[in-house]
Chain A
């Protein structure tokens, strides 16, 4: 039978336990676990475009495009959009679909835009089977294939700017997009979103 702790010791132990309990939620997990994609727990690094950067850029672009009212000026709704070239001028190899797909999904949900998957840059279809099937169906029906041409094209550029002062490293990723009307080649909407990250190490937290 253990004798009960003296009151001051018991109090100290309780306080220590409370402090440890409070700190436990902030500790870095050792075991793998699921976290919210792009949420507060996601890792932030200086040497690459992180998932939350893509999300933020896409969100800003979508909000800007929808708020601009440009999609309301299309004669036949929803507007047909084709994805043009997104130039990657950053030091890293990225898949620009990380940006454009999120934008396409959001615009599709809005009901204002549908994206063609059978018409792509350099004649490459995103969905070659759909393109071939349409050609086959048109041939079997003895008709000329009718492809709905895009009203808009989406093009853009990714830029990267690095700076360092002492131990502090800084990187700015710039996302630029333009929406061009095919019939006259004029950019009717343009937007730029910059995301800057700073830290003394490559990996920093939010």
Chain B
């Protein structure tokens, strides 16, 4: 049993080097000049495990090209390990009908430990007024 102790110590030393546990340090302006337009959001969590791994920091919205909505959701990896997820934005019109379009596809995203990252989309039609962001764990 005693002979396993050095191995365990070595494993503990090597673990942070494997790339699975890379946290992100950041630096930014203390008083941000950006004045984003936040969107109050409703969250439905069906995967509690994922809900405890990935957090939603903020949801912002702006208009581009005059009348097209652009939304940006800032996600945070709540753990120290790298986390692979897939996300997809979906748009609906004023009548609640799904708009569809080229932007509605599952996209992969890898977040380093404790990393905060923004994902965004632009509605390809002015009819799109509301959106849903779906997040699932990557393979």
Q: CB distance B66 to A206 under 8 Å?
A: no
Q: How distant is A204 from chain B, measured CB to nearest CB, in Å?
A: 10
From A39, A69, A206, give the contact of B65 (CB < 8 A): A69
Q: Which residues of B contact A67 (CB under 8 A)?
A: 64-65, 70, 122
CB <8 Å contact, A59 and B120:
no
Chain A hits for B105, CB < 8 A: 38-39, 52, 55-56, 59
Instruction: Say yes or no: B136 contacts A69, CB within 8 Å.
Output: no
Q: Judging by beta carbons under 8 Å apart, are B86 and A110 in contact?
A: no
Q: How many B residues, CB 8 Å from partner?
A: 22
Knowing A38-B106, A67-B64, A69-B64, the reply to whether A109 touches B101 (Cβ < 8 A) is yes
Interface residues of B in 113-139 (CB under 8 A from A): 120-122, 124-126, 136, 138-139
Give the complex CA separation of A40 and B107 in angstroms: 9
- Main secondary structure, interface of A, reads helix
Q: How many residues of A contact B (CB 8 A)?
A: 27
Question: In the complex, what residues of A have CB within 8 A of residue B122's CB?
Answer: 62-63, 66-67
Whether A66 and B64, one on each chain, are in contact in the complex, defined by CB atoms closer than 8 angstroms, is: yes
Bound together, the chains give a CA A206 to CA B86 distance in angstroms of 9
Find out whether the CB atom of B66 lies under 8 angstroms from the CB atom of A72.
Answer: yes
Our pick among A40, A69, A102, A111 for the contact of B102 (Cβ within 8 Å) is A102
Query: Which of chain B's residues has its CB closest to A58's CB?
Result: B102
Q: Say whether A158 faces chain B, with CB atoms less than 8 Å apart.
A: no
Which A residues, 38 to 70, have Cβ-Cβ distances below 8 Å to chain B?
A: 38-40, 52, 55-56, 58-59, 62-63, 66-67, 69
A154 contacts B by Cβ under 8 Å: no
Given A67-B64, A102-B102, does the pair A62, B86 have CB atoms closer than 8 Å? no
A63-B103, A71-B65, A106-B102 given; A40·B139 CB < 8 A: yes
Show 12 A/B contacts (Cβ-Cβ < 8 Å), sorted by A: A38-B105, A52-B106, A55-B102, A58-B102, A62-B122, A63-B121, A66-B124, A105-B102, A106-B103, A110-B125, A205-B139, A206-B108
Residue positions of A touching B, CB distance < 8 A: 36, 38-40, 52, 55-56, 58-59, 62-63, 66-67, 69, 71-72, 102-103, 105-107, 109-112, 205-206
